[in-house]
Amino acid sequence: MCSIVKRRSLLLELGLLNSLLIGVGVLLVFWYIRWRQSRKNLYEAAAKVPTPECMIQLPILGHSLYFIGDTEQILKNVYNISLNKSETPCAVWLAHRLFFYLKTPKQMEVVLNSPKCLEKDDLYRFSKPLIGHGLFNLNVETWKNHRKLIAPSFNQRLLDQFVDVFVEQSNILTNKVLSKKVGKFFNVEEYITAAALEMVTQTAMGIKTNNQESNCELAEQLNRGLDIMFMRMFNVLLHSDFLFNLTSLAKEERTIINSFQGFIRMVITDKRADFKKKEQEMKECVEAQIDEFKERKVFLDHLMELSQNQQFTDQEIIEEVQTFMIAGSDTSATVVSFVLICLGMFPEYQQLVYEEILEVVGLDRDIECTDIAKLKCLEKFIKETMRLFPIGPNIVRKVTEDLELDGHILPKDSGLVLAIFSIHRNEKYYPNPMKFDPERFSPEETAKRHPYAYLPFSAGPRNCVGIKFGMTVIKTIVASVTRKYFIETSFKTIEEVRVKQSLIIKSCLGFPIKLTERVNTLL
Ligand code: HEM
C-alpha cells in the first residue's frame, strides 16, 4: 500500500517536472521567436549584401572563428575580406552581432561625417577599463559636451609651449639613452615609448617621472594591457564578464589598471593641493608679482579649471587624463618606431631627411617650434610610413539610426568596420602600393587623391583630437635621432615587416635598428 502511494507521488512529481520543463521550453521558443522578429531588419539587410567569400559562416557563431587567434592572424583575416574586388559593403556576423565591412573612400566619407555613426561600437567596451571613459570611449551625448570643452586645450599656441618638453626629452633619448646602444641591433620601441610617455605625462599632468632614465614599468604594463584588451575584443568566448573573470587574463588586467589609476589619482591629489596653495598665494600677492605665478598650463590644469565651474567631476577628470595618456603616448611612440625602421630600410630618403634637418635646424642648436612646419621632407616620410602602417588599421563605429549607403540600408545597431589598412594598401588609390614612396604626399599627388583615401588620424567630427600634438612629438624625436645617428634595420622590405593589431597596429617582430654615430659636417 505504502509503495503504491510512493509511486503515485513520484509520478505526480515527474509530471510536474515535465510540465515545468515543457513550460520553460515553450517560453524559450517564444522568447527566441520574438528576439528574431525584433532583429528582422538586421537579417534582411545582411541578406541583401554579400558575405565574405573567404569565410565560412556557422550557425550561431557566424564568422566568429575567423576572429579567434593571435593578433597577427586577426589583422590578416580582416584584410583578406578586402581582397574581393566588389566594393559593396559586405556582411560579417560575430555571433549575434552584424557588422558591415566598408572599404572605399566614398563610404568612409559618408560614415565618418554622419551624425548616425558617431557612436563607438560596443566592441570598444573592452577598452574602457584601460583607456577610461574619456573622449575616445564616451557615448555620443556626453562626448559632444566634453569634446567642445577639451578641444581648445589642443590649440597651436599651447602646443608651441610644449615644444621645450619634447626637445628636452628627445635630447635625453638621443644623447643619454640611445648612446648606450650604438653599434648593435636592438628593439627601439621600449625606449621611444618611455620618451613619449614622459612627454605626455609632463604635458598632460605637469609632473616629471624621469621615465626614460628609470626602469619604465608603466610603459610595459600599458603595452600588455592593450594586448589583453584586443584579445578580448575579438575572442567571443571572452566577451562574457563571467567567463573572462575566470581567466588569469582578467587578474592581470585588473592589476595593470589599478596601478595605472592609482598613479593618476596620486598626481591629481598632489595637483589639487598645489592648486589651492597657489590660489592662496595669488590672493596675497601684489599685482606686480602675479606674473611669477603664471606658469605653462597643462591639460590637467584646464580640466581642473573646468571642474571649478562644475563642468567636469573629479572622476571625469581622471578618466580624461587616462585617455589622454594612452591615446597620446602609445600612438606617437609606435609611429616613431615605424618611421625609424623605414628610415633604416631606405637610406636614400634618410639622407634627404638628414640634409633637411641640417638645413633647417643646423648641427648644434635645439629644435624650436618654428622649425617644425619647415621639415617638409620629414613630414612626407612620416605620412608615407603612416599610410603603410596606420595606427588604427580598422575603426569600428555603431549605427544609431538606419543609414543609407551605396543604395543599401545599414540598420540601427549594426556595426561598421572601416577598413583603413586595406584602403591604404589598395593599388586603386596607391599604385604599386607596397613601394615606399614619400612623393605620394607631395601637394600635387595629394590633390589627385580622394581625401578619404588617407585616414591615419580618422576624419570627421570624431577624428583624433591630438593630430598636431602627435605630429610635433614624432617630428621632434625623429629629427633629434636622425641628426645624431645613421640608422640601419634588419628588415629589407615593407613585406618583411609583419604586422598585428593590438588596439593599434604593431610590428610582430619588434623594431630592430642599429645606430652609428654620424661624423657631422655642415653641408
Ligand atoms: C601619431 C599619433 C596619433 C595617431 C596616428 C592617432 C590616431 C587616432 C585615430 C585613428 C583616432 C580615431 C580612433 C577611432 O575612431 O577609433 C584617434 C582618436 C583620438 N586620439 Fe589620436 N592619434 C595620435 C596621437 C594622439 C595624441 C598625441 C593624442 C592626445 C594627446 C590623441 C588623442 C586622441 C583622442 C582623445 C581621441 C578620441 C577623439 C574623440 O573620440 O573625440 N591622439 N586618434
Ligand 1 centroid to residue 362 C-alpha, Å = 32
**Can you tell me which residue has the cell 549584401?**
49
Q: Do residues 315 and 166 touch, judged by C-beta distance below 8 A?
A: no
Query: In the prediction, which pLDDT does 345 show?
Result: 98
Q: pLDDT-derived band of residue 4, with 50, 70 and 90 as boundaries?
A: low
Mean pLDDT of 405-418: 95
SS3 percent helix, strand, coil of the chain, rounded to 5, is 60, 10, 30
Rg (CA), the chain: 27
- What is the C-alpha separation between 250 and 326, in angstroms, rounded? 19
Mean pLDDT of 184-193: 94
**Can you tell me which residue has the cell 628610415?**
343
Atom of ligand 1 nearest to the CA of 473: 27
Ligand 1 centroid to residue 452 C-alpha, Å = 17
Query: In the prediction, which pLDDT does 51 show?
Result: 86
- What is the C-alpha separation between 158 and 193, in angstroms, rounded? 23
Q: Tell me the percentage of the chain whose pLDDT exceeds 90.
A: 54
Tell me the DSSP string of 455-476.
Answer: -TT--STTS-TTHHHHHHHHHH
Atom of ligand 1 nearest to the CA of 137: 40
Q: pLDDT-derived band of residue 293, with 50, 70 and 90 as boundaries?
A: very low
Query: In the prediction, which pLDDT does 419 show?
Result: 96
Q: Do residues 340 and 347 touch, judged by C-beta distance below 8 A?
A: no
User: Of 137-141, 148-152, 210-214, 414-418, which gets the smallest average pLDDT?
Assistant: 210-214
Query: In the prediction, which pLDDT does 348 show?
Result: 98
- Report phi then psi at 51, rounded to 5: -105, 160
Query: In the prediction, which pLDDT does 286 show?
Result: 52
Cα 233 → chain centroid: 14
In the predicted structure, residue 522 carries a pLDDT above the cut 70:
no
Atom of ligand 1 nearest to the CA of 470: 27
Q: Tell me the percentage of the chain whose pLDDT exceeds 70.
A: 93
Ligand 1 centroid to residue 216 C-alpha, Å = 23
Ligand 1 centroid to residue 464 C-alpha, Å = 4
Q: Do residues 362 and 501 touch, judged by C-beta distance below 8 A?
A: no
Query: In the prediction, which pLDDT does 216 show?
Result: 66
Q: pLDDT-derived band of residue 50, with 50, 70 and 90 as boundaries?
A: confident
In the predicted structure, residue 30 carries a pLDDT above the cut 80:
yes
Pocket test for ligand 1, best of 123, 203, 300, 331 (most atoms within 8 A of CB): 331
Ligand 1 centroid to residue 130 C-alpha, Å = 15
Q: pLDDT-derived band of residue 290, with 50, 70 and 90 as boundaries?
A: very low
- What is the C-alpha separation between 118 and 115, in angstroms, rounded? 6
Cβ count near 508 (within 10 Å): 12
Atom of ligand 1 nearest to the CA of 335: 1
Ligand 1 centroid to residue 398 C-alpha, Å = 18
In the predicted structure, residue 62 carries a pLDDT above the cut 90:
no
- Judged by DSSP in three states, 373 sits in coil
Ligand 1 centroid to residue 518 C-alpha, Å = 34
**Closest C-alpha residue for ligand 1 atom 19:** 464
Query: In the prediction, which pLDDT does 1 show?
Result: 55
**Closest C-alpha residue for ligand 1 atom 18:** 464
**Assembly ipTM:** 0.97
**Closest C-alpha residue for ligand 1 atom 7:** 457
- Report phi then psi at 424, rounded to 5: -65, -20
Atom of ligand 1 nearest to the CA of 392: 10
Query: In the prediction, which pLDDT does 288 show?
Result: 47
Angle 189-205/299-308 helices, nearest 10 degrees? 30
Pocket of ligand 1 (CB under 6 A): 135-136, 147, 323-324, 327-328, 331-332, 335, 391-392, 395, 456-458, 462, 464-466, 469-470, 474
In the predicted structure, residue 88 carries a pLDDT above the cut 70:
yes
Ligand 1 centroid to residue 469 C-alpha, Å = 10
Atom of ligand 1 nearest to the CA of 154: 30
**Closest C-alpha residue for ligand 1 atom 37:** 136
Q: Do residues 446 and 376 touch, judged by C-beta distance below 8 A?
A: no
**Closest C-alpha residue for ligand 1 atom 17:** 464
Distance (Å) of CA 232 to CA 124, 179, 243, 301: 10, 39, 11, 34
Q: Which three cell numbers stand for residue 77?
A: 583575416
Q: What is the pLDDT of residues 205-233, one digit of tens each?
A: 887 877 777 656 777 788 788 888 877 87
Between 176 and 310, name the one with better pLDDT: 176
Ligand 1 centroid to residue 491 C-alpha, Å = 28
Query: In the prediction, which pLDDT does 292 show?
Result: 45
Between 244 and 275, name the one with better pLDDT: 244
- Whole-number mean pLDDT of the chain? 88
Ligand 1 centroid to residue 324 C-alpha, Å = 9
Ligand 1 centroid to residue 196 C-alpha, Å = 14
Pocket test for ligand 1, best of 338, 464, 471, 478 (most atoms within 8 A of CB): 464
Angle 467-484/189-205 helices, nearest 10 degrees? 130
**Closest C-alpha residue for ligand 1 atom 16:** 395
In the predicted structure, residue 281 carries a pLDDT above the cut 80:
no
Q: What is the pLDDT of residues 331-357, one digit of tens each?
A: 999 999 999 999 999 999 999 999 999
Q: pLDDT-derived band of residue 485, with 50, 70 and 90 as boundaries?
A: very high
Q: What is the pLDDT of residues 422-469, one digit of tens each?
A: 999 999 999 999 999 999 999 999 999 999 999 999 999 999 999 999
- What is the C-alpha separation between 376 and 27, in angstroms, rounded? 67
Ligand 1 centroid to residue 520 C-alpha, Å = 36
Ligand 1 centroid to residue 515 C-alpha, Å = 30
**Closest C-alpha residue for ligand 1 atom 31:** 466
| 514 strand-pairing partners | 488
- What is the C-alpha separation between 358 and 163, in angstroms, rounded? 19
Structure pTM?
A: 0.90
Mean pLDDT of 83-89: 84
